[in-house]
Chains A and B, each alone.
Chain A
């Protein structure tokens, strides 16, 4: 049941049969479940990433996840554990870096250096693991094959914990993200929040990597949140919208990937990117119509 074999999964235009066929495979159902969990988590955490301008940190964690995953496979463990261990480990390490008090530790040259070294380690692990060559692509660019029920459970538990913590610190974190000095003066523990958020981000990156691979993490982490924030400046609404967009692009990507010979990472990313471009266009049109309407309003008044 190799999915890359497109001929075995023709799209029949009979939606009911198509979905029945697709969901008759347990791994496909697992992929949809895992995708939903990951999309919602990544969108929620990503919403703060976009707000805080921490996309470089997210990028670092995703790159660090690759040696974690390949190392785990080399050691005979599921790649997912490797993602978690390395991404969360990197988050703790960066939070402890000198100079991270300003929340910019992730941008230091040291981070870049370690990132490059770990990426090289990942490459070595792949080389050491003979016959793993086909797997490199899925580690880097994502795959939805072979997600087991127990993995879905692990993903769900981790996501639930991260979302609960995020909900608990949500409002002060928003305050500290947009207005750090006033938040600090109000007694918000700005530094502690930054550290906790980095760890949450590490966990979310590890989860997203398991669908999109290390290199396409932004498709779920950054793009839905960025799209939602372009569409509306209302914080609550754009947070919910980010989750909806994330879920939509993930499920769409999975469906199309099932019926096409091309990899899931490409489809998810393309849908997410398309949504972002569309949102920008909507915004441009909206603003143009506002400008056109403004003189009219003034003359009326």
Chain B
């Protein structure tokens, strides 16, 4: 990217034109229940992909499987051509809905810095930066990613005192610290207000283009990111539908995927509303029940906020 990052171990960027994430006949079981199975999936490098589907279908589980935190019950998953969990620093991860305790007295910069070397043992020796090119490089990289997400103004504040949108930007910076080739984001727009949703979505889109990071993002609502997406993955119990948003978010494709009549409506300003999408059997506690149910019941009123999820 720039010269300042020379101190960071050089990324062995395998310029594979092959897929960054690939699933073959993959299935996953959590607590004895099959979330999805027979999933075929191939996500190409440099693309912005959204993972969509009803609540409880296992969207987050797909991310966990890609991280190697959730073993597959069947089939195969390959991340950057290798086994999941082996890619290490080449994968950046932003888990679902974290907000820091208001009393947490750690600066945003430090949280971002943990993304760079937080997993290294020992504590850094208090060597002045003048004598340590490594520390200089680390500091430059941290400043660079913070600048990239536009968080320079508040990065020195205790993170507990930052707003939800500010925290989310800092966490994206943390995930970007090591120049990952894939960014796995789990509902990063959740719990943000609408202006912040639009801003963070634009930021992720820009990172995908400019930093050439493949972004795989679990989303509840496709509309804020619709303009930036290359590809969507719609998950269902029996498999997945992949393609451009225009191909996949259609009444025909979703009806076929779910085996039940699903209608996709387009509002006058281009938003998509999915009606009649089945809920996955809620045998575990759903985190956000109202969204899709309300959309099914009153699509016109809910259309602006919740759709396609």
Interface residues of A (CB under 8 A from B): 51, 53, 167-172, 174-175, 178-179, 181-188, 229-230, 232-236, 238
Contacts and interface: CB of A to CB of B under 8 A. Distances in A.
A208 to B, nearest CB: 22
Contact of A178 (B85, B100, B122, B157): B100
Given A182-B95, A182-B171, A233-B110, 11 more contacts: A167-B123, A168-B122, A172-B119, A174-B114, A181-B95, A182-B174, A182-B175, A183-B114, A186-B118, A232-B105, A235-B110
Contacts of A184: 69
A170 B118 CA distance: 9
Contacts of B20: none
B101 interface: yes
A38 B175 CA distance: 38
Contacts of A188: 118-119
Nearest to B157: A233
A176 B235 CA distance: 31
Contacts of A234: 107, 110
B256 interface: no
B104 interface: yes
B291 interface: no
Interface string B119-141: 11111101000000000000000
Given A185-B69, A186-B119, A235-B106, A175 B114 contact: yes
Nearest to A186: B119
B175 to A, nearest CB: 8
Nearest to A167: B123
Given A184-B69, A188-B119, A233 B105 contact: yes
A170 B110 CA distance: 14
A175 B171 CA distance: 13
Contacts of B111: 178-179
B74 interface: no
Interface in B232-287: none
Interface string B86-125: 0010000111001011001111001100110111111110
Contact of B121 (A169, A178, A182): A169
- Chain B contact residues, majority secondary structure: loop
Nearest to A53: B101
B67 interface: yes
A182 B98 CA distance: 10
A43 B171 CA distance: 29
Given A178-B100, A181-B95, A185-B93, A171 B115 contact: no
Nearest to B69: A185
Contact of B120 (A171, A178, A235, A238): A171
21 contacts: A167-B123, A168-B122, A171-B117, A171-B121, A178-B106, A178-B111, A179-B98, A179-B111, A179-B114, A179-B118, A181-B95, A182-B114, A182-B115, A182-B171, A183-B119, A185-B67, A186-B119, A187-B85, A233-B107, A233-B110, A234-B107
A168 B122 CA distance: 4
Contacts of A183: 114, 118-119
- Chain A contact residues, majority secondary structure: helix
B150 interface: no
Nearest to B93: A185
B21 to A, nearest CB: 15
Nearest to A176: B118
B299 interface: no
Contacts of B115: 182
Contacts of B175: 182
B118 A233 contact: no
A178 B113 CA distance: 12
Specify which of A170, A186, A187, A232 lies most central, judged by the most chain B CB atoms within 10 Å of its CB.
A186
A91 to B, nearest CB: 21
B227 to A, nearest CB: 28
Contacts of A167: 122-123
Nearest to A187: B119
B71 interface: no
Closest 3 CB pairs of A and B: A175-B118, A170-B123, A181-B95
B158 interface: yes
B178 to A, nearest CB: 9
A131 to B, nearest CB: 46
Nearest to A230: B105
B114 A178 contact: yes
B119 A168 contact: no
A51 B118 contact: no
Contact of A171 (B67, B98, B118, B126): B118
Contacts of B104: 51, 178
Nearest to B67: A185
B105 A168 contact: no
Contacts of A233: 105-107, 110, 157-158
Contact of B124 (A171, A185, A232): A171
Given A178-B111, A182-B115, A236-B126, A172 B101 contact: no
Contact of A229 (B69, B95, B105, B124): B105
A186 B174 CA distance: 12
A100 to B, nearest CB: 20
Contacts of A235: 106-107, 110
